[in-house]
Chain A
């Protein structure tokens, strides 16, 4: 009986996942298949694609010191941003789940956090200059308040600026999955912990945090994947002077050096998938459904 039910569920599962699978087959697997093929091609300055089967592009990726430099910078960004967005995201998700009392209010507060993103990223990126720049709002305020005598140069076009930009963009991606996980926590569990004499911190640490592990894992996947592949934020807020893996790929593409860019992208994919598989060992988001 159980076997039959399992089979039935399986049939339904394929039907349910079919649209998703179809979209990714057409718009991701096929085009990326092209990219994989190209990553084995040869290229010259004025002959951009020479059909071939060479590992040279991959060898180049692994033998160039610049690869390791860019990965080091990118991973550093990734870890910093992950730590900040996790703490911030968890705190805010906790607030929205346990302190905001109505669903309406929760939705309103989420909308409030979403609205800035409805102003195009192009506009927002420009607006960092009048905010953080030499004559920007923040520097003017600091000088007028007598906190600093001269404008702080490192507010903009620096690693600091890039991190600020990432935190600005990606914290919401941490909040949403953690919030969804937290919503599933039975409030009586918290009361039970309280009754058992656990302090507020202990309840958070021993009850809430373990129970939202999948949400945290999902938020982490979002943040890691987006920081690792980014080139827009790092380019704009780093003033074009800070490297990331994504930026190196973008530079190659702008010179139509498709094969090395494709190989670079494949290596990036491999590295990040490995990272995420590692993460899955701590919290398999699929097993706890």
Chain B
């Protein structure tokens, strides 16, 4: 019963409209519990074993779109089975249960923890067709014009390559063996509610400005939350850092002291961990200033609530995610994984994800799949000529709007630090727990 509902939806938006009362009634019956009969059978793996190739992809819901899985089925004949996890669970799953997935969608900073466990296989770049076209941030650590990208924090280039296919060590320079193929990445900054702030915001320091007491938020992921704070401390000159993304104990202590003071003074309303929490906090007016993701700001705006993704003079805190292959994969499934990655980089997916406000690995092929206006709006930072639509066809920005922060190179060029895990993370986690208990 449920299967049928899914099946009808595969045809996409057009079919959506035709689904009428019958489906609603059938679905209602499912709620009543009659879904059991077919539902039970559907859950068992025996059925999936009959499929030719099924790729189980574990990761957060950031880019696990159904449309993507449907397109993969159409183009490649693979069944993509997503295991959606919270960001905490991804890294735990990766290290403790690698055989529960065939591909891992992980953030780059988690690699520092995952790779030493030996559960990830180096990907052979010679098998990746568009390898040469991957944005050089990941392959050379620089922008196309040759300027170096910030190496503070876990800049992807630091963890992009392994010394060998089955190695547990990162290679300093590019090798044949890549850890992750980038999926989505972005430069994060503060999101603000201009209607509730009523004055220009230009610096990270505003996050801890007592003016916003009880209305600010930072990330509830210790190594990232502390960096939001570090952006502030560096800006106000309270602390100077060697590398904000890899603090010394002394730097951690100083930053935590600033954070603790702010917490005691009631600066923070709540901390957010998952994408949607940041949307809820902002849209409901609980918070007026917080670090956010680009699509979260778009979502708040599409709800009719004013929200600006404010570029700041100190620059952005960036993050990147990518697809990796676990060490246990072999034979047909391994080939399928490479095939999937090649398809992933061939353009359709890139365009799809770019339209969410993320950035993707191979821009050239993505561009071919976007309209000129879309490309100009999302990537070049030019005013939209027509309304900008989401991948599902909903209007998300009106004609004339300019993307906050401008073009791709403006934004990625102003990254000052990358999401991270620190060498002193034992100490940092202890300090963070003390901070929460304070």
Contact = CB atoms under 8 A, between A and B. Distances in A.
Interface of A: 43-48, 64-66, 69-70, 73, 126, 129-130, 133-136, 153, 156-157, 235, 239-243, 247-248, 250-257
How many residues of B sit at the interface, in one of the four size bands?
Answer: 35 or more
A257 B437 contact: no
A241 B269 CA distance: 9
A254 B88 contact: yes
A132 B263 CA distance: 21
Contact of B433 (A44, A48, A66, A157): A66
Given A240-B220, A241-B436, A252-B433, 7 more contacts: A43-B426, A46-B113, A64-B430, A66-B433, A129-B286, A240-B272, A253-B92
A129 B436 contact: no
Nearest to B219: A240
Interface in B264-311: 268-273, 276, 280-281, 284-286
A238 B429 CA distance: 19
Contacts of A242: 436
A133 B284 contact: yes
B182 to A, nearest CB: 22
Contacts of A129: 280-281, 284, 286
12 contacts: A45-B423, A45-B424, A47-B116, A65-B434, A69-B437, A134-B285, A156-B286, A157-B269, A239-B270, A241-B271, A252-B429, A255-B425
A131 B278 CA distance: 17
A70 B434 CA distance: 9
A77 to B, nearest CB: 13
Contacts of B273: 240
B112 interface: yes
Contact of A45 (B268, B271, B286, B426): B426
Interface string B99-118: 00000000000001100110
Interface in B244-279: 263, 268-273, 276
Contacts of B423: 45
B437 A73 contact: yes
B91 interface: yes
Closest 6 CB pairs of A and B: A239-B270, A240-B271, A243-B437, A69-B437, A240-B220, A243-B436
B434 A239 contact: no
A48 B113 contact: yes
B429 A257 contact: yes
A126 B280 contact: yes
A117 to B, nearest CB: 16
B61 interface: no
Nearest to A60: B430
A235 B285 CA distance: 20
Nearest to B280: A129
Contacts of B433: 66, 70, 243, 248, 251-252
Contacts of A65: 434
B115 to A, nearest CB: 8
A247 B426 CA distance: 16
A136 B280 CA distance: 12
B429 A255 contact: yes
A135 B437 CA distance: 28
| Most chain B beta-carbon contacts within 10 A, residue among A43, A69, A242, A256 | A256
B92 A256 contact: yes
Nearest to A247: B436
A46 B112 contact: yes
A44 B117 CA distance: 12
B229 interface: no
B263 A241 contact: yes
A240 B436 contact: yes
A43 B426 CA distance: 9
A251 B422 CA distance: 15
Contacts of A130: 284
Contacts of A136: 284
Contacts of B88: 250, 253-254
B104 to A, nearest CB: 15
A66 B430 contact: yes
A134 B284 contact: yes
A225 B91 CA distance: 28
Contacts of B220: 235, 240
Contacts of B434: 65-66, 69
B95 to A, nearest CB: 6
Contacts of B421: 45, 255
Contacts of B413: none
Contacts of A66: 430, 433-434, 437
A251 B271 CA distance: 14
A247 B222 CA distance: 12
B432 interface: yes
Interface string B378-400: 00000000000000000000000
Given A45-B423, A134-B286, A254-B88, A239 B268 contact: yes
Contacts of A251: 222, 429, 432-433, 436
